[in-house]
Every structure is written in structure tokens, then in C-alpha cells.
């Protein structure tokens, strides 16, 4: 059975969108995964097709009705994890991506308005996930990010060369700078070591650059990288690689 993604949204026409292109798109065409966008509004029963209502306790904005959200989720409840994309969710991590990609698929609920009624989150045991600390206008781009991250891990989607490379020495390090021909471009050269043919020196330079960039931009990752190194030293008694 292929990996199945269902997206519950008020804007089903946004899908597949970018997921229809490139790596994910080829995976879709080849049947490695499938994507179904279901219109939440299709689960309304009233003449005006209302999906929202005013918040108990007052305040600005509207809340998605529990009966409508629940009906949409019920239509796809088949054992796949049900995920609610929301700015207050746990941050999406590569380890969550690996866990989800390793299962049967996902049911993604995209929020609009201020959010959905809390009782649906509890009754349907929704896992709440955010894609970062910035404000989107809805959950749809977040759903695309989560799906893109999962799909590239599915067997057969990515070439073996690329996938093997992923988690080598570089855990918790950002990438080193890349260069290709010409050796001089608009008056800018290439670090001479990369032209030296000295493989060990190239590896040392790349490692040093990766460390410098990580320290500069991501003190959080730098701290994790340093504890990786300490843990490796304890186990192996060696510092390299």
C-alpha cells in the first residue's frame, strides 16, 4: 500500500500546488504516495454552509465549529495519525518527519480563523504541529511543508546517492559553501584548497566552514553538535571524525 495523505481544508484547490512538481510530483505520478484534498465545507449540512461561529467568552475572530471539524475528520479516520496544523503546535522536527513518513500516511487538518473548538482536538486526539515561529494566513502552506518533508523520505522517491548522504558526520551542522566552474566569476575566486586536489585538506576546510557558519547562525544547533561530539568521544575515545 502506498503512503496516503489527506488534507482537510477550506481551500482544496490549493493542492497539490507545489507538491505536483519535482521530487514529490514524480512520487505522486509513480504512485509512491497519494494526495487527497477534502473540502471541509462539504461536511456542512445547513443552507449557508457555515463552518465557523463566535467564541464563547467573547473576543475577536471566529472559531471553527466542532461538529463540522469532527465530521470532516470522521470521514477519513482509518488509523492514520490526525494532525492539526496550528501556530501553537509543537515545532515540526526531522524526527517527527521520520516517524510520520514511516507510518501509513497522515490526515492533515488545516486551520483558518482563530482555530478549531478545543473539544475536537481532544475527542479526535489531534497532534498539534507548527512549522515555525511566524504567522501564516492558514495551515495550507504548513501542510505542504510537512508533506514535502515526509515524501522525500519515502522509499524510491529520492535517489540512493542523495539519501545516503543525509545523516553522516554533519548531524547538527549547517552546510559548507559550494562552488562550481568557472574558477573565477565576476572577479571572485574559489577557496584555493578546493582546487588543490588534496582530499583531506578539502574535508578539513569544509568541516571548519560548516562549524563557523553553524556557530554564527545557529547557536542552538552548535550546542547540539558539541554534545554529539562529546558523546562520541565518551563511546569511542576518539575525537575524529
Nearer residue to ligand 9D3 within complex by CB, 39 or 209? 39
Element (H, E) at 136: none
CB of 215 to ligand 9D3, least distance (A): 27
Q: In the numeric block, which cell numbers belong to residue 206?
A: 569544509
The single residue among 29, 47, 79, 135 that binds ligand 9D3, judged by CB under 6 A, is 135
**Judged by CB under 6 A, which of 75, 136, 202, 221 binds ligand 9D3?**
136
Verify binding: residue 27, ligand 9D3, rule CB under 6 A. no
Burial of 41 (C-beta count, 10 Å sphere; 0-12/13-18/19+) = middle
Asked if 6 touches ligand 9D3 (CB under 6 A), the answer is no
**DSSP-derived secondary structure letter, 171:** T
- Residues in region 98-127 near ligand 9D3 by CB under 6 A: 111, 114-115
Spatial contact of 83 and 127, defined as CB atoms under 8 Å apart = yes
Nearer to ligand 9D3, 36 or 130 (CB): 130
Does the protein bind ligand 9D3 through residue 55 (CB under 6 A)? Answer: no
CA 12 to chain centre: 19
Q: Is the four-CA dihedral 201, 207, 209, 215 of positive or negative sign? A: negative
Q: Is 138 in the site for ligand 9D3 (CB under 6 A)?
A: yes
Cβ of residue 146: shortest distance to ligand 9D3, in angstroms? 9
Closest distance to ligand 9D3 from the beta carbon of 59 (Å): 10
Angle, in degrees to the nearest 10, between helices 22-29 and 140-151: 70
- Contact call for residue 24 and ligand 9D3 (CB under 6 A): no
Q: Which cell is 220 given?
A: 542552538
200 binds ligand 9D3 (CB under 6 A): no
The residue among 80, 91, 82 whose CA lies nearest residue 116 is 82
| Residue among 41, 33, 73, 37 at smallest CA distance from 155 | 33
Single out the residue of 142, 147, 151, 157 in contact with ligand 9D3 (rule: CB under 6 A): 142
Asked if 87 interacts with ligand 9D3 (CB under 6 A), we say yes
Is there binding between residue 63 and ligand 9D3 (CB under 6 A)?
Answer: no
- C-alpha cell recorded at residue 41: 465545507
Show contacts with ligand 9D3 in window 205-234 (CB under 6 A).
none
Q: How far apart are CA 86 and CA 233, in angstroms?
A: 40
* Interface positions with ligand 9D3 (CB under 6 A): 85-87, 111, 114-115, 130-132, 134-139, 142
Amino acid at each position: 500500500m502506498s503512503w496516503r495523505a489527506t488534507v482537510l481544508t477550506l481551500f482544496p484547490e490549493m493542492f497539490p500546488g507545489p507538491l505536483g512538481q519535482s521530487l514529490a510530483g514524480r512520487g505522486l505520478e509513480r504512485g509512491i504516495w497519494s494526495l487527497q484534498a477534502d473540502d471541509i465545507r462539504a461536511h456542512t449540512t445547513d443552507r449557508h454552509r457555515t463552518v465557523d461561529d463566535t467564541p464563547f467568552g467573547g473576543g475577536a475572530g471566529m472559531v471553527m465549529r466542532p461538529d463540522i471539524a469532527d465530521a470532516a475528520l470522521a470521514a477519513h479516520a482509518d488509523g492514520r495519525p490526525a494532525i492539526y496544523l496550528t501556530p501553537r503546535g509543537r515545532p515540526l522536527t526531522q524526527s517527527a518527519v521520520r516517524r510520520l513518513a514511516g507510518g501509513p500516511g497522515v490526515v492533515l487538518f488545516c486551520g483558518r480563523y482563530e482555530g478549531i473548538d478545543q473539544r475536537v482536538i481532544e475527542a479526535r486526539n489531534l497532534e498539534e504541529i507548527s512549522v515555525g515561529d511566524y504567522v501564516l494566513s492558514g495551515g495550507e502552506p504548513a501542510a505542504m511543508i510537512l508533506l514535502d518533508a515526509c515524501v522525500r523520505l519515502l522509499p524510491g522517491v529520492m535517489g540512493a546517492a542523495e539519501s545516503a548522504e543525509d545523516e553522516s558526520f554533519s548531524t547538527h551542522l549547517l552546510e559548507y559553501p559550494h562552488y562550481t566552474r568557472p574558477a573565477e566569476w565576476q572577479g571572485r575566486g574559489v577557496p584555493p584548497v578546493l582546487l588543490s586536489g588534496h582530499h583531506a585538506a578539502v574535508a578539513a576546510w569544509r568541516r571548519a566552514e560548516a562549524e563557523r557558519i553553524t556557530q554564527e547562525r545557529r547557536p542552538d544547533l552548535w550546542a547540539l553538535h558539541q554534545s554529539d561530539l562529546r558523546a562520541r568521544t565518551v563511546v569511542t575515545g576518539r575525537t575524529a571524525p
